[in-house]
Amino acid sequence: MEKTRAGAGRGASTIVVRPQPGKKTRALVQVGPMTVPAAIGRSGRSILKREGDGATPIAAMKLLYGFTRGDNVRFLRTALPMRRIRRDMLWCDEPGNSNYNRLVKAPFGPSHEEMRRSDGLYDVCLVLDWNVRSRRRHRGSAIFFHLIRPGYEPTAGCVAVNLRDMRRILPLLRKGTTVRVV
């Protein structure tokens, strides 16, 4: 893992993601006293998360580590372990593959997501422990905390914030911080 500069002060033990009233694809992310707007899944939230359903899982998920597109985003302050994204990094989203919901290396034939995206969504991408440590087929993959699309367009099931807010949140995060989607 690439080392980054650690943030000063105490880290947050829990991040709460609450639905924004009247908008199923929008949320409010609370980290300590700070609250920022976010986008969530195109299908809103679900307690019965399934691969491809477009829903953000209602769950308490631990932050494991993150990725950064170092050529686009620099000088991140966080105690969270971060890796620089390489061109050959992919994330398997094929439920029938033994690498389901894991980082894989190109070339890779089964269904996958490219980590080095041209749209900037994964310029800062934090991996949530949704179906990672004890994986089950079809329970959902690539549930990340990443950057938004313009206009806070819905995600495929992730939580997304703008870069300015991500930079404000990152110094408060560490491995094991809980992201609680309610």
pLDDT for 70 equals 85
pLDDT for 10 equals 63
- Mean per-residue pLDDT, 165-174: 96
Q: pLDDT of 101-148, one tens digit each?
A: 999 999 999 999 999 999 999 999 999 999 999 899 999 999 999 999
pLDDT band at 94 (very low <50, low <70, confident <90, very high): very high
Nearest to 155 by CA among 30, 24, 9: 24
User: Is the confidence at residue 79, as pLDDT, over 70?
Assistant: yes
The residues, any chain, with a CB within 8 Å of residue 151's CB and separated by 6 or more, are: none
Amino acid sitting at position 44? G
Contact (CB, 8 A) for 82 and 76: yes
pLDDT for 5 equals 45
The residues, any chain, with a CB within 8 Å of residue 162's CB and separated by 6 or more, are: 36, 37, 147, 148
Q: How far is CA 78 from CA 3, 95, 112, 128, in A?
A: 9, 32, 28, 16
Nearest to 41 by CA among 59, 51, 53, 50: 53
pLDDT for 74 equals 86
Average pLDDT, the chain: 93
**pTM of the model as a whole:** 0.92
Q: Residue 181: is it exposed, middle or buried by C-beta count within 10 angstroms (0-12/13-18/19+)?
A: buried
Q: pLDDT of 18-59, one tens digit each?
A: 999 999 999 999 999 999 999 999 999 999 999 999 999 999
